[in-house]
Structure 1
Amino acid sequence: MRISVLGRSVILVSVTPEAAAEPALRHNRPYVLLMAGRTTQLIGSGIGSFAVPLIAYALTGSVAQAGVIAAIGQIGGLVMTLPTGVLADRTDRRKIIVAGAAIGAACWGWIAVAGFLGWLTGWQLAAALFVSSVIGTAVGSAEAAAIPYVVPVTQLPQAMAVVEGRGAVASLLGGPVGGLLYSVARMIPFLANAIGEFAILVSTFFIRVPLNDHHDGPREHPLRSLAEGLRFCWSVPLFRAAIGLFAMVNLTINAVVIAITLHLVRDHTTPFLIGLLDFVMGAATLIGSLFAGRLLNRFRVATITITALALLSVGIAIMALAQSYPVYLIMFGVPILLAPALNAGLGGYVAAVTPHHLQGRLSSVLSLTFLLSAPLSPVVGSQLLAHFGLGVTLWVLAAALAVTTVLVGFMRSLRQVGLPSTWVHHKITWPAPGESPER
């Protein structure tokens, strides 16, 4: 699960009457191809990700070592997130996606073959996860930057809601399908991961329009380009305040997921039932995405954010009290219903007001909200579980999320994000390097 909070200081601009006459998104061929390929890739990745802790535990026999392997797999994405954002703004985004998907397909294809032949080790799995996180970050930055380029500003809220929905579909299918495939043969989920990578390669190959601006003449140094992106994000009060707090939110929630997953593995719970947890989270996200637009049109993002985090805190505390599988199912579902409105609202707003030439760097910097916590979540969840048991682990994580929720409630800049009806009237004017931003 990923929850992120974003924001911008804005400048009023005019909106042309033609903006309201844009064709429906389903007739936007580049957008449809991007969505189809990325959705298939995410489904394959979800199926493969389900098998990772199970295979890691089978290879090592230790929940602690299994958590370390999962953490190593996240380091590549953390290290490369800012460079890939620069790359997405300086290089043909279509080529980035195609090349990254080719590497990913080859990587997971090899892991599946090595597993079938009995050659797979924990270190090989960790290396595959590391490479996958690097190329996944590059592909994600390029695709995220391409969406605002091919979608009109007036349709970005709808487009971002579809992005939330596709993630929900991937979560909905990844766990149960992964569990079923794992029951047939342990390496089949990794083969599905390779097929998903190949799917986005093919779909993106058939996109015949540019996904970023053409640059003539000399380009600035990559470090200067990165510095510009960082200055742009640092100029936004909401982002400065939110990145640390929401890294903590993601760390806590994902630590809960890994702790409960490893607890169920250790208790010899069937893979299908473990995968059902992902199914419930995916179903809740999909249902939430269906009414996310209505919520955003009625409530400010601050209200949705605080309510969602409070529900999650209470849900983790209830799981700590009950420690039963049916309660895990319910508490993994109900609090997540508000997450799509939160993510789609702020994600659409930020994409709408950010200049096209900064979209890649914006995406990479904002990804730090999630990636800063990604390597720590498996370690925190697994180590707390190994040393203190599930009950103490859940109480500690519930308390951490409750404190974070209180701090988020004091973020004045979060309360200043308006309703979606105001987004099309705002856009940031970002100057050339060395000039002062307009205010």
Structure 2
Amino acid sequence: MIEPTTTPGRADEAVATPPPSLWHNRPYMLLMTGKTVEVVGSGMATFAVPLLALALSGSLVVAGVIGAVAQIGALAATMPAGVIADRWDRRTIVVACSVLGLAAWGSLGVAWLLGGITTGHLAVAAFLAAVARSVYEPSESAAIRHVVPTPQLGSAMAAVQGRSAVASLVASPLGGLLYAVSRVLPALAGAVGHLVALVCALAVRVPLGDPVRHRSEREPMRREFDEGWRYVMSIPFLRASLGVFALVNLTFNGLYAGLNLHLADLHTPPFRIGLIDGVGGAAMLLGSLAAGRLIARFRVGPLAVVLLLVVVVGTAVIAFSGAYAGYLVGMAIAGLAVPALNAGLIGYAAAITPGALQGRMNAVLMLCTAGLTPLSPFLAGVMLSVWGPTWTFGIFAAGLAASWAIVASVRSIRRIGTPDTWADDAVVWPPRGAAGRGEASERP
């Protein structure tokens, strides 16, 4: 059963006292502020990685491989990150990840001062930064769930989507401008972002998880790892999400990576490349402003089907326009729909999951849905080299359309209601009367 997200030992007061607004929730605001700055800084650095790889190697395939190496780092760390998030102090985890990200991006600046960056060093730095991000995210997501009451989760997750929108809006264009001044400046921006996240995490003074998880009498890590898998596979909505959104991530990220590589290969100015992501970010920011109201007013399941169709339309415009203006329009259309789509589904998953399983639930979903993502930049680079942009973008858009058809047919997604009904779907874990069958029970 999901516990109220209150300070331990004060559940009675939580029932009697309305929760403060998110703006007055200090731990939530610190977590959001630190992560927002980190996402923007890391976004600048990540944006510059394929451009720098292409400049160093002169090969689209090598640039795609380095992008894939970073994705592999993120994937390899994802599942252990979930166990770690549910096992140890989440504030400490966030601090450690911020230090690792700071070292990874900062090392590129040091190498530049000492004589130059190699493709191998770039790959290692991108790999370590991706590991830091993957370990950070389940801990931060679980921490937000702990400090935000269930009725506010929809709004909180919409704000998280707004954070991503802000990053997309400013990170790539600024990354392009910084890259035009010096190839190392985006990496230094990534280091600064991690430094701010570190300071904000150190300022959080409340527990960010279930204290029982941090006692010495813990389950073996392998058993906790297995429990996370069993939990996700026992919930029809979570189980159905795994394959569907793996395909969504593969195709959308492939289209985006291919678009950046194609424009870089045409020697498009970095700022113009970044502007495409900036337009998408502006659209996401607008979409995030409406996301909370949409989620509160409409059933999230049918809403998700409609919003994913909008994303499909946007990617189709990108695929078949063949012009820079069309790329801008397509990214704007897709970006408007993404925040409410993600916030609704992620918020529902967090609302129905017990607090002690938050990290592992997030990690299993990230591992499975992002499992194919390392292939995105690699496939984009190879397909562009063999077939050119039209066929490459068209294939990725067709894959996204197929994922929409699957989502529209999944009942466990279509049945999701508005946030005021999510508590009724809260999962009892371990399940009552289902021992040995791997089935979860919903709260009456």
TM-score category of the 2 structures, normalised to the smaller one: over 0.9
**In the alignment, is residue 319 of structure 1 matched against residue 339 of structure 2?**
no
**In the alignment, is residue 438 of structure 1 matched against residue 438 of structure 2?**
no
User: 1:82 matched to which residue of 2?
Assistant: 79
Q: Which amino acid aligns with 1:398?
A: A
Is the CA contact (8 Å cut-off) linking 2:65 and 2:378 kept in structure 1?
A: yes
User: 1:243 matched to which residue of 2?
Assistant: 242
**In the alignment, is residue 182 of structure 1 matched against residue 179 of structure 2?**
yes
Which aligned pairs between 1:164-313 and structure 2 lie closer than 5 A?
164-215=161-212, 216-313=215-312
The structure 1 segments of at least 4 consecutive aligned residues displaced by more than 6 Å after TM superposition are: none
C-alpha displacement of 1:294: 2.2
Which aligned pairs between 1:97-116 and structure 2 lie closer than 5 A?
97-116=94-113
Is the CA contact (8 Å cut-off) linking 1:47 and 1:178 kept in structure 2?
A: yes
User: 1:61 matched to which residue of 2?
Assistant: 58
Q: Which amino acid aligns with 1:94?
A: R
Q: Which amino acid aligns with 1:438?
A: S
User: 2:332 matched to which residue of 1?
Assistant: 333
Q: Which amino acid aligns with 1:256?
A: L
C-alpha displacement of 1:213: 1.9
Is the CA contact (8 Å cut-off) linking 1:308 and 1:336 kept in structure 2?
A: no
User: 2:358 matched to which residue of 1?
Assistant: 359
Is the CA contact (8 Å cut-off) linking 2:107 and 2:125 kept in structure 1?
A: no
Is the CA contact (8 Å cut-off) linking 2:352 and 2:427 kept in structure 1?
A: yes
User: 1:408 matched to which residue of 2?
Assistant: 407
Structure 1 residue matching 2:219: 3-state secondary structure: coil
Is the CA contact (8 Å cut-off) linking 2:314 and 2:332 kept in structure 1?
A: no
Is the CA contact (8 Å cut-off) linking 2:69 and 2:123 kept in structure 1?
A: yes
C-alpha displacement of 1:410: 1.1
Structure 2 residue matching 1:22: 3-state secondary structure: coil
Structure 1 residue matching 2:428: 3-state secondary structure: coil
User: 1:127 matched to which residue of 2?
Assistant: 124
Q: Which amino acid aligns with 2:441?
A: E
- State which drifts further: 111-120 or 411-420: 111-120
- C-alpha distance in 2, partners of 1:37/1:127? 24
Unaligned runs of at least 5 residues, structure 1: 1-9
The one of 26, 29, 36 aligned to 2:26: 29
Is the CA contact (8 Å cut-off) linking 1:172 and 1:283 kept in structure 2?
A: yes
C-alpha displacement of 1:245: 1.5
Higher normalized contact order (CA 8 Å, seq sep 6+, divided by chain length)? 1
Is the CA contact (8 Å cut-off) linking 1:306 and 1:408 kept in structure 2?
A: yes
- C-alpha distance in 2, partners of 1:359/1:320? 37
Unaligned runs of at least 5 residues, structure 2: 5-10
User: 2:345 matched to which residue of 1?
Assistant: 346
User: 2:392 matched to which residue of 1?
Assistant: 393
C-alpha displacement of 1:19: 6.5
Identity of aligned residues (%): 46
The one of 130, 135, 159 aligned to 1:138: 135
Q: Which amino acid aligns with 1:349?
A: Y
Is the CA contact (8 Å cut-off) linking 2:431 and 2:441 kept in structure 1?
A: no
Is the CA contact (8 Å cut-off) linking 2:146 and 2:209 kept in structure 1?
A: yes
- C-alpha distance in 2, partners of 1:410/1:266? 39
- State which drifts further: 189-198 or 232-241: 232-241
- C-alpha distance in 2, partners of 1:79/1:294? 36
Is the CA contact (8 Å cut-off) linking 1:304 and 1:338 kept in structure 2?
A: no
User: 1:368 matched to which residue of 2?
Assistant: 367
User: 1:73 matched to which residue of 2?
Assistant: 70
Is the CA contact (8 Å cut-off) linking 1:182 and 1:188 kept in structure 2?
A: yes
Kindly report the root-mean-square deviation, in angstroms, between the aligned alpha carbons of the 2 structures.
2.1
C-alpha displacement of 1:232: 0.6
User: 2:7 matched to which residue of 1?
Assistant: none
Structure 2 residue matching 1:211: 3-state secondary structure: coil
Structure 2 residue matching 1:291: 3-state secondary structure: helix
C-alpha displacement of 1:432: 7.6
Q: Which amino acid aligns with 1:246?
A: F
User: 1:5 matched to which residue of 2?
Assistant: none
- State which drifts further: 312-321 or 135-144: 312-321
